[in-house]
């Protein structure tokens, strides 16, 4: 399976216009966060609800924001996504690591890992699962959905799709 | 002790073109009644993240002073954000907290701010200026001083439990976003 280089991925996001990056780390996201931090583009957050709210503030100020998080953080962020972003029509890109995919992970990740796509469908957040083979099309869809619907858009990231620091 | 609406009126008399993020519940309703303006962002949900929204805006537009009107229940819910503000130290953020020591919008259930000193938490977190005030003249003096100097600032205003008779936020949330973005601009 082809692996996306973190540097290329960040550059692709910047080329699309994304210019505000915050989040809470996960091992799957380590490589991306390292590149963002090296380029002084990343503002760490302490909780995922704070992160999506910071992204909302940045959008109100003219930025195009990205929030990186582990899928456990979607639980923390959900009320803010539902009672701020979705009703105020404030978009952001959520890059969410898919822990618990196909049940192969620690027990704490299994319920979210199984139900995440349905949860996002239920609260009407459009989502896709990123793959190296479909990267260009995935990002094109992301930009289009972000612009058209003005809501948070989620890209799910499975282990090994973007190069991490720790294998 | 003043009511929150009285304290808010004193602050709005000083606010110029600074955007103001106002937390959910009665604070937003009272702000709409006291001084509705394009630069007001009224939250109607997402309790606990007023300061996070203000922080994101302050980082996006570092040359613009950003004001947050918050409450004690809100700060307690999103207390981690005091650490984020204290660590990032945005110079252009003034975080005002109306502290009535209760969850006023839901029926005056007591909050822990009567026991835990939120101003001391903000100070420990690293806000540049922290003040706790009760009187109108002190509110005016400190708020003016904060807007004119580098922050981040934390202004805790002790207020009574009185709630102003104020309608719900009138504008549709999506229209509020458009109005606010047009007022604040892309910086």
Peptide bond connecting B152 to the previous residue in cis, omega within 30 degrees of 0: yes
Backbone angles phi, psi at B89, to 5 degrees: 45, 55
Domains of chain B and any CATH numbers: 4-184 (3.40.50.970)
Contact A57 B83 (CB under 8 A): no
- Cβ A130 vs Cβ A155: under 8 Å: yes
- Tens of pLDDT, residue by residue over B145-179, are 999 999 999 999 999 999 999 999 999 999 999 99
pTM of the predicted model, to two decimals? Answer: 0.97
Residue A102 covered by a domain: yes
- Tens of pLDDT, residue by residue over A39-76, are 999 999 999 999 999 999 999 999 999 999 999 999 99
Selected residues 37-56 of chain B with any CB under 8 Å from a CB in chain A = 41, 43-49, 52-56
What pLDDT score was predicted for residue B187? 47
Residue A17 covered by a domain: yes
B89 and chain A in contact, CB less than 8 A: no
Closest residue on chain B to A53 (Cα): B53
User: A56 contacts in B (CB within 8 Å)?
Assistant: 53, 56
Q: What is the mean pLDDT of residues B105-117?
A: 96
Q: What is the Cα–Cα distance from A70 to B176, expressed in whole angstroms?
A: 31
Q: What is the Cα–Cα distance from B172 to A139, expressed in whole angstroms?
A: 31
Residue A70 covered by a domain: yes
What pLDDT score was predicted for residue B126? 98
Sign of CA dihedral A137, A139, A145, A148: negative
Residue to mutate among B53, B62, B85, B87, with most A CBs inside 10 A, is B53
What pLDDT score was predicted for residue A165? 75
DSSP A105-155: S-GGGHHHHHHHHHHHHHTT--EEE--GGGHHHHHHHHHHHHHHH-S-EEE
Residue A93 covered by a domain: yes
Total domains in the fold of chain A: 1
- Tens of pLDDT, residue by residue over B71-106, are 999 999 999 999 999 999 999 999 999 999 999 999
Residue A163 covered by a domain: no
Domain of A58 in residue numbering reads as 6-157
- H helices present in chain B, as ranges: 4-12, 26-35, 50-60, 72-77, 80-88, 118-125, 136-148, 173-184
Nearest by CB to B184, from A46, A50, A60: name it: A60
CATH number for the domain harbouring residue A101: 3.40.50.970
What pLDDT score was predicted for residue A2? 83
Q: How confident is the model at residue A167 (pLDDT cuts 50, 70, 90)?
A: low
Mean pLDDT across chain B, nearest whole number?
Answer: 97
What pLDDT score was predicted for residue B185? 80
């Amino acid at each position: 399976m082809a692996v996306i280089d973190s540097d290329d991925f960040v550059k692709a996001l910047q080329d699309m216009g994304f210019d505000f990056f915050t989040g809470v780390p996960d091992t799957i996201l380590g490589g991306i966060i390292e590149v963002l931090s090296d380029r002084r583009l990343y503002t760490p957050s302490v909780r995922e609800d704070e992160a999506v709210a910071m992204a909302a503030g940045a959008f109100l100020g003219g930025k195009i924001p990205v929030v990186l998080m582990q899928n456990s953080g979607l639980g923390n962020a959900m009320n803010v996504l539902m009672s701020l972003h979705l009703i105020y029509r404030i978009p952001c890109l959520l890059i969410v690591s898919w822990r618990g995919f196909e049940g192969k992970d620690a027990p704490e990740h299994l319920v979210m890992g199984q139900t995440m796509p349905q949860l996002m469908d239920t609260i009407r957040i459009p989502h896709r699962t990123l793959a190296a083979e479909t990267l260009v099309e995935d990002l094109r869809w992301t930009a289009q959905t972000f612009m058209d619907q003005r809501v948070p858009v989620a890209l799910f990231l499975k282990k090994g799709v973007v190069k991490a620091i720790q294998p | 002790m003043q009511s929150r609406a009285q304290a808010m009126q004193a602050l709005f008399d000083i606010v110029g073109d600074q955007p103001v993020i106002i937390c959910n519940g009665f604070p937003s309703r009272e702000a709409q009644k006291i001084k509705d303006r394009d630069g007001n962002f009224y939250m109607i949900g997402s309790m606990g993240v007023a300061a996070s929204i203000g922080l994101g805006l302050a980082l996006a537009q570092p040359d613009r002073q950003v004001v947050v009107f918050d409450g004690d229940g809100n700060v307690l819910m999103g207390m981690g954000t005091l650490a984020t503000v204290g660590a990032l130290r945005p110079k252009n953020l003034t975080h005002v907290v109306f502290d009535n020591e209760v969850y006023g919008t839901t029926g005056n259930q007591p909050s822990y701010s009567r026991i835990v000193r939120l101003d001391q938490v903000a100070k420990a977190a690293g806000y540049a200026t922290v003040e706790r005030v009760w009187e109108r003249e002190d509110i005016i003096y400190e708020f003016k001083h904060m807007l004119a100097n580098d922050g981040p600032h934390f202004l805790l205003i002790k207020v009574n439990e009185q709630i102003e008779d104020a309608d719900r936020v009138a504008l549709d949330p999506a229209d509020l976003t458009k109005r606010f973005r047009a007022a604040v601009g892309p910086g």
